[in-house]
Amino acid sequence: MSGLLSAFDPGWVAILYGISWVMGVFYGIRAVFMTKSFLDQYGISQSAQLMARFAGAQVLAFVTITAILPFMGFEGAWPIFAYQLLASLILVGTGLYTQTQSEASRMEGVSRSPEGWVVPIILVIMWAVMMFMMRDTLYA
């Protein structure tokens, strides 16, 4: 492979990168621009709009950087990948805790969906695989 996709060797790594990017766009846009329905879906009070938008803005900033990164090159970009890996890992822990141990896990009307920790587990696996498969470029 050459050009833009040369760092994605084998090519399926580009698919992982694209899937993680689409997931970020989906959650980021929902949290920032469709906040009411986003919060309603999870049974969260509308008083959390500022924090939902804050989190969504962080996701959209990351999505913007990861959209530009393939055009700039992945050489030495391991901290960007490590950031997302660690953020996803932290979300696994906080999601599991929230679903099983926190006061929110016992509240009426709060979503009990495993989405809060299953999606981050998928992201941890995806980012770890990408970091491993792209290691020669990321750590250059």
**Per-residue model confidence as pLDDT tens digits over 32-65:** 999 999 999 888 899 999 999 999 999 999 999 9
Axis-axis angle for helices 49-72, 12-33 (nearest 10): 150
Say if 23 falls within a structural domain: yes
Say if 29 falls within a structural domain: yes
Lowest-confidence segment of 22-26, 44-48, 82-86, 112-116 by average pLDDT: 112-116
71 pLDDT more than 50: yes
Tell me what pLDDT residue 110 has.
67
24 pLDDT more than 50: yes
Say if 59 falls within a structural domain: yes
Tell me what pLDDT residue 1 has.
39
Say if 92 falls within a structural domain: yes
With contact defined as beta carbons under 8 Å apart, do 11 and 36 qualify? no
- Domain tally for the chain? 1
Say if 1 falls within a structural domain: no
Range of the domain at 65: 8-138
112 pLDDT more than 90: no
Question: Distance of CA 12 to CAs 8, 17, 79, 110, Å?
Answer: 7, 9, 22, 37
Say if 3 falls within a structural domain: no
Say if 2 falls within a structural domain: no
2 pLDDT more than 60: no
With contact defined as beta carbons under 8 Å apart, do 104 and 110 qualify? yes
Percent of the chain residues past pLDDT 70, beyond the cut: 93
Say if 105 falls within a structural domain: yes
